[in-house]
Amino acid sequence: MRTRVTELLGIEHPVVQGGMMWVGRAPLAAAVSEAGGLGIITALTQPTPADLVAEVGRARALTDKPLGVNLTILPSINPPPYADYVRAVVDSGVTVIETAGANPEPFMEQLKGAGLTVIHKCTSVRHALKAERVGVDVVSIDGFECAGHPGEDDVPGLVLIPAAGDALTIPFLASGGFADGRGLAAALALGADGVNMGTRFMCTVESEIADSVKQAIVEASETDTELIFRPLRNTARVASNVVSREVVRILEEGGEFADVRELVAGARGRRAFAEGDLDAGIWSVGQVQGLIRDVPTAGEVVRRTVRQAEEILDRLSLSARDPQGV
């Protein structure tokens, strides 16, 4: 299955594993890339820029196919040295960087000068157009269904994806709400050049998070998430648990960030993934968890997503040619 994204990134299938904090590590990224998609290592999951370079090396021992690194620049309690991580991405030898959060423009000259293909994640058409203007190669457009930060416009993918297609000239990925070939086929029909999947790849054999977290996602429905930080205009979609519900309550009752700072500390969310304590802290998950019912290998996710999409598109094409014969 060839699209503008597969041609640009040098991959076989239009399936990208998005960057995910505490999840995007070498075994998962390498497995996705080896299967023909694009695997992405999350930079800030690594404690230092040097550790990031080493993690890319660990992935390189598992695949020689294209790999990417995600660098998300967001307000945080203790901001990391972003410029040093950008240098590490350049030094690591990966071919793709996925940026998110703040405008990547301050780093574009450095990234493009190093020959990197830049994907930028956006949650609105206006932000996507700005990213196109500053020179990114691909936009990943996140619908309201997505895990993490969906923006403040609350526009779901069914509207956001074709709106982006109408406005952009560069290739773009559909993100948020995708878990299988039905989603990929729909995304292509809506004008996207592929899909970016996060939550689906959390629930794979190679994902190095606790099995209890994977099982919780398999058993969850599409309604089992919370939108935190809404009153602060920094909305994030996370799993519904004791901590996230408490954060929502405090902020809805007029609390400020200082009142929930300890509840939302990244170290607590990391414990949830590492130790399997589902109520240890907040952890991101998308509404698409309601479509996930197994824990296969990452390669199987890529292959069956593409296979199912091709079957759907072939069936629709046949139906259009011969509506009486299908």
Name the residue ranges covered by the structural domains of the chain: 4-209+295-321, 211-287
**Ranges of the chain with pLDDT below 70:** 75, 77, 323-326
Q: What per-residue confidence (pLDDT) applies to 318?
A: 80
**Is this model's pTM higher than 0.75 or not?**
yes
Strand-pairing partners, residue 17, are 197
Residue among 125, 143, 141 at smallest CA distance from 288: 143
H helix runs in the chain, sequence order: 4-9, 26-34, 49-60, 82-92, 105-113, 125-134, 157-167, 181-189, 199-202, 211-219, 242-252, 257-260, 266-275, 298-321
Q: What per-residue confidence (pLDDT) applies to 317?
A: 87
Is the CATH number 1.10.150.530 carried by domain 4-209+295-321? no
Residue among 213, 246, 251, 222 at smallest CA distance from 235: 251
Measured CA to CA, the distance from residue 257 to residue 32 in angstroms comes to 37
Q: What per-residue confidence (pLDDT) applies to 32?
A: 98
**Angle in degrees, 0-180, between the axes of helices 26-34 and 49-60, rounded to the nearest 10:** 40
Residue type, 300: E
